[in-house]
Structure 1
Amino acid sequence: MSTTESSAPRRSSRISAQPKEEVKTTAKTRKPSVKRTAEAAAEKTTAKKAKSSPEHEENTEDHDALPKIDLGDVLPSIVLKNEEDVDVDVTDLVSEKGLVLFLVPKADTPGCTNQACGFRDIYPDFTSHNFEVYCLSADSPAAQNKWKTKKELPYPLLSDPKRKLITALGAGEGGKTKRSHFIFEKGGKLVDKKIPVKPVESPALALEFVKSL
C-alpha cells in the first residue's frame, strides 16, 4: 500500500509540468511573427517616402520637356516671361518676321554684356531685314529688366528659369546655358545656329547670315 500511494504524486507532478513547457514554446514562436510585421511596416513606409522624394518629382517633370530642336525643325510653342514679367508665346515671334534668338549664361556679366551690346549696336540692321532680336537666359525677369535698363538694350529679353527651351535648343546641358545664337525664318523653321560662339563674334555672324537669305 505504501508503494502505490507514493507513486501517484509523481505521475501528477509530471502531468502538471507539461502545460508550462507548452506555454513557453508557444510564447517563443510568437516573437518572430511580431518582428516580421514590424519589418513589413517599415518597408511600406520607405516605399511611400521614395514616391514623394524630390528625385521622383524630377522624373515626373521630365515628361514636360520639349523635343530637341535641330536645323529644319520648327520652333515649338512655349510660353515664357519677358523682362516685364509678361507672358510671351515664342511661336508668335515668328508669325510675321524672322527671329534671331541669342542665349547668354548670365545677365550683366562681362562676356554676356559684350554679346548683348553687340546686338544692340547693330539692332537696326536686323529689323531692316525683317528680323526681330530676342535675348534668352535663365535669369529672372527682374534681373533682365535691370540689365536692359542699365545697358539700354533695344530688344526684349525672355526668361527661361527651368531651361526648357534652352535645353531643347541643345544649349542647356549640365544646368548651365551655353553662349549661342539661333536664327529662325518667318514661320519658325530653324535655319542657322552657332553653339558655342564667342560673345564679340555672335552679332556679326548672325547679321551676316541674315543678309545672305
Structure 2
Amino acid sequence: MAESSTETAPRRSSRISAQARPEAPTKRARKGASATANGVAKSTKTGSTRKRALKEGKEGNQDVDVDAEREQDAKKAKLPSPEETQDAADMAVDEPSAPAAPSTPSDAPKNAIDVGDTLPSLVLKNEKGEDVDTPSLTAEKGVVLFLVPKADTPGCTTQACGFRDVWEEFEALDYGVYCLSADSPTAQTKWQTKKLLPYPLLSDPQRTLISALGAADGNKTKRSHFVFEKGGKLLDKKIPVKPADSPRLALEFINGLAN
C-alpha cells in the first residue's frame, strides 16, 4: 500500500498578526481637530485685529488731541483784550437816556469829517441843560473832544478820570477839554459830581455830532477823541482808542505841536 505524503501548509508568523494596525481617526476626532485648528487661527486673527485696533485707536486719540489743541489755540487767538471786552460791555449798555429821536435833521452833516475839516456847527446841551453852540468851543482856544459810549461805566470812567488828572496840563497849553456822549444832561451831571470831573460834558442824544465825527456805530458810540485847533480845524483823531491811552495820546499830540 503506497505511503501517502501529506504536505503541511506553512503557518504565518503570529508576530505579524499580533501587530496593531493604526486606527483611522473617527469622525468626531477629525471634527475636534478641525475646530481646534480653526480656534487657534481665529484667536491669532483676533489678536492681530485687536492690536491693530488699539494702534489705530491710539493714533486716533493723538489726532483728536492735536485737533483739540489747535481748536484751543484758535480760541485763545480770538480772545479779545481786556480793553476790547470793556468797550463791548460799555457799548452794550449804551442806550440814550432820552426817548428815541427821529432821523438826523437835513441840515446836519451827513459825512464824517477828516483831518483838515472844520468842527460842524451844531447846538447841543451841556450837563447843566444849557445850549452850547459848537463853534464857540474853538473861538478862543483849541479843544480836545473825547467821546464815551456810556457815562459812569468802568471803561468810560477810566477815560474820563484820565482826562481829569491831566486837565490842567491841557489848560496850560491853551486847550479846553470836553466830554461828548449820548447821555442826558441829568446822567452827565450825576457822573460829573461823582467823579469830580472839572470839564464840561456835552449831551448828544440823537448822535448828530457823534455821527458827523464818524464815531456812531448804529445806536452806539465808539470810544474816541478829536483835537481841534483854535478856529475849529481838526488836527488829529483817534477812533477807536483805549480808555487809558486816550488822555495820554491827546496830550502827547498837542505837546508835539509846540516842538
The structure with the larger Rg is: 2
| Preserved CA contact (<8 Å) 2:142 2:228 | yes
Matched-pair identity in %? 68
Q: Which residue of 1 aligns with 2:113?
A: 69
* Structure 1 runs not aligned, ≥5 long: 1-56
Q: Which residue of 2 aligns with 1:132?
A: 176
The alignment partner of 1:135 has SS state of strand
- RMSD between aligned alpha carbons? 1.3
CA distance in 1, matches of 2:164, 2:147: 14
CA distance in 1, matches of 2:184, 2:206: 11
* Structure 2 runs not aligned, ≥5 long: 1-100
TM superposition shift of 1:74: 0.5
CA distance in 1, matches of 2:135, 2:149: 23
Runs in 1 of length 4+ with deviation above 6 angstroms? none
2:164 paired with 1:85: no
CA distance in 1, matches of 2:248, 2:239: 15
TM-score normalised according to structure 1 size? 0.71
Report 1:44-55 matches (<5 A). Answer: none
Q: Deviations over 1:109-154 (max 9, x none)?
A: 0000000000000000000000000000000000000000000000
Q: Which amino acid aligns with 1:105?
A: P
More helix by share: 1
TM superposition shift of 1:198: 0.2
Q: Which amino acid aligns with 2:143?
A: L
TM superposition shift of 1:157: 0.2
Q: Which residue of 2 aligns with 1:27?
A: none
The alignment partner of 2:106 has SS state of helix
Task: Sort the Cα spacing of 1:206 and 1:146 in 2 relative to 1 into closer, same or farther, 3 A.
Answer: same
The alignment partner of 1:63 has SS state of coil
2:205 paired with 1:185: no
TM-score normalised according to structure 2 size? 0.59
Q: Which residue of 2 aligns with 1:163?
A: 207
| Preserved CA contact (<8 Å) 2:120 2:212 | no
TM superposition shift of 1:190: 0.2
2:138 paired with 1:121: no
TM superposition shift of 1:69: 1.3
CA distance in 1, matches of 2:163, 2:193: 15
TM superposition shift of 1:65: 3.2
CA distance in 2, matches of 1:63, 1:80: 16
TM superposition shift of 1:58: 5.0
The alignment partner of 2:145 has SS state of strand
2:178 paired with 1:111: no
Q: Deviations over 1:34-59 (max 9, x none)?
A: xxxxxxxxxxxxxxxxxxxxxxx956
